[in-house]
Amino acid sequence: MQNQTLGIIFSLSAAFFWSTSVIMYRKSGDGFSPLSLNFFKSLIAIILLLPTLYLKEVDFIPDNSINDWLLIIISGILGTALADSLFFSSLNRIGASLNAIIGCSYLPCIIIFSYIFLDEALGFKGLIGGALVLSALFVSTWHGKRQNIDRKDLIVGIIYGLAGILTMVVGIIMIKGVLLRSDVVWVTLIRTGAALLGLLVTIILHPQRKKLWLELQPSLIWKWAVPASVGNYLALLFWLAGMKYTMVSLAAILNQLSAILIFILAAIFLKEKITTAKSIAVFLALSGAIIATR
- What pLDDT digit, counting tens, does each position of 138-153 carry? 776 665 544 566 778 8
DSSP string, 142-169: HTS------HHHHHHHHHHHHHHHHHHH
Give which of 60, 49, 23, 67 is closest to 195, Cα–Cα.
Answer: 49
Q: What is the mean pLDDT of residues 101-125?
A: 78
What pLDDT shows up at residue 209? Answer: 95
Sequence-distant (≥ 6) Cβ neighbours of residue 89 within 8 angstroms: 34, 157, 160, 164
What length does the chain have?
A: 294
Distance of CA 218 to the CA centre of its chain: 25
Helices 222-245, 184-205: inter-axial angle, 10-degree rounding: 130
Structure-model confidence comparison of residues 133 and 207, the more confident one = 207
What pLDDT shows up at residue 166? Answer: 92
The whole-model pTM stands at 0.84
Q: In angstroms, what CA-CA distances link 4 with 1, 126, 251, 273?
A: 8, 14, 10, 36
The predicted-structure confidence for 208-251, as pLDDT tens digits, reads as follows: 999 999 999 999 989 999 999 999 999 999 999 999 998 888 88
The predicted-structure confidence for 154-206, as pLDDT tens digits, reads as follows: 788 888 988 998 999 999 999 999 999 999 999 999 999 999 999 999 999 99
Measured over the CA atoms of residue 202, residue 208, residue 212 and residue 213, the dihedral's sign is positive
pLDDT confidence band for 293 (50 / 70 / 90):
low
